[in-house]
Amino acid sequence: MRRLLIDGKLVDAEAGFATLNPATGEELGQAPDATVAQAEAAIAAARRAFDTTGWATDTALRIRCLEQLDKALTEHREELRELTIAEVGAPRMLTHGPQLDEPAKLPGYYADLLKSFPMTEELGEKEIRGQRHRRWVEKEAAGVVAAIIAYNYPNQLALAKLAPALAAGCTVVLKGAPDTPLTTLALGELIAAHTDIPPGVINVLTSSTAEIGELLTTHPDVDMISFTGSTAVGRQIMKVAGDTVKRVFLELGGKSAMIVLDDADFGAASMFAAFTICSHSGQGCALTSRLLVPRAHHDEIVEKVAAGMSRVTYGDPTDMKTFMGPLISEKQRDKVDGMVQRAVAAGATLVTGGKRVDPGFFYTPTLLTNVDPDAEIAQHEVFGPVLAVIPFEDDDDAVRIANNSIFGLSGAVHSRDEARALGVARRIRTGTLSINGGNYFSQDVPFGGYKQSGIGRESGVAGLEEFLQLKSFGAVVAA
């Protein structure tokens, strides 16, 4: 059994819980089930490390530790790859991108950024009431951070929180997702074995219940919460965090729309739509799960999308040729299938897919048409390989339908006229947009949403600034 990381030591728990290989449904291993006492010890260690050590002010140490973590991730990449494939169900090809290789660059990115990032900003002198005053702003760490992540991209989510938090000088209690605990624990073990990060600066917990997460979000010694997960849980975190006025970063759900304008390359757009929704079996908050098409070209595009879905290879995630792996659990597959069945009962047409595939937790690429823009399947996050097609009349109607959502995380626009595509994209209330298949996702690009898709941004300079406080100074200038 892997171990928790608390106050610089790898420790066991009194009990464990099973994690499954979603491609087979078989038990992969046991993860330590942290107790409340262990969570409290982790918080206390993070508090002590922040308040009584030089971590928050020693920039050179933080750079060195981030570079050590970058090296450790490089040297142990293949071990992490195999674990990610087995526990997350991520196809091998996806681990060469956003499931592992890309997030592994985050510590190095923030180490380099920290070397030049201005922690002090001079605002110049100003005469106030007959005296000259120098004014400046210093940026300092926000404090103790509770970082709580989802199961779908555990390496990306953990490192997108840890790397900028460490760069800023914060201390962290990281809680892994109960469906993918081993991947997060492996990261803690690398930190303990291969970095000079002082005891207490990073603590890694896993738990099978919500009790530990509730403690982290309410504890008075936690200054900030960085959470990635469902909008429902995000709402609850905002409520309980208010009691101690914690800073809150939330990266939540999405119901993103891909708009295919009437002058688009329908073949390219259809293929993009089909494969995007099947990436990691649709288990991505920013994936475009609504396809908005011109009513006059509806049938033509649907036919092309269905043909594209037929080309999606799914099955054994260890095979480099597999594009789509399983859903994370039987519970998630039940949820996805239930939403599809209710959509059909409400009047949607099942064009293709909608089937369970055993063994494991596979679900076939699914295409639905005749979807009401206000229907459950068009308004709620599915987190499965399910694409809902909705027709529109003109550009204004497409924008209206795209914005008809409580979410605002991402979106896409396809048109042969880039200026037209940009004009439509700029009217959509989302934090990220893809134009004609363009990829914005990278270490240096801020990622986050509008509306109930979240608060704040991860990655890039904005991701570092999430973990910084501003302190303003004024001093009288001697005559």
Pairing relation of β-strands 9-11 and 4-6? antiparallel
The yes-or-no answer on residue 170 being catalytic is: no
Nearest CA-CA partner of 101 in 127, 132, 126, 80: 80
Of the residues 87, 285, 381, 465, only one is catalytic, namely 285
Residue 218, judged by CB atoms within 10 A of its CB (0-12, 13-18, 19+), counts as middle
Question: Which positions ≥6 away from 396 have C-beta within 8 Å?
Answer: none
In degrees and rounded to multiples of 5, residue 244 shows phi and psi of -115, 10
Q: How many CB atoms lie within 10 A of CB 36?
A: 12
Which member of 102, 251, 381, 465 is catalytic?
A: 251
Q: Is 251 a catalytic residue?
A: yes
Query: Which token pair is 177?
Result: 């997702």
Cα 360 to Cα 315: distance, rounded to the nearest angstrom: 9
Phi-psi region of 347 (alpha: psi -120 to 50; beta: other; left: phi over 0): left
**What residues are labeled active site?**
251, 285
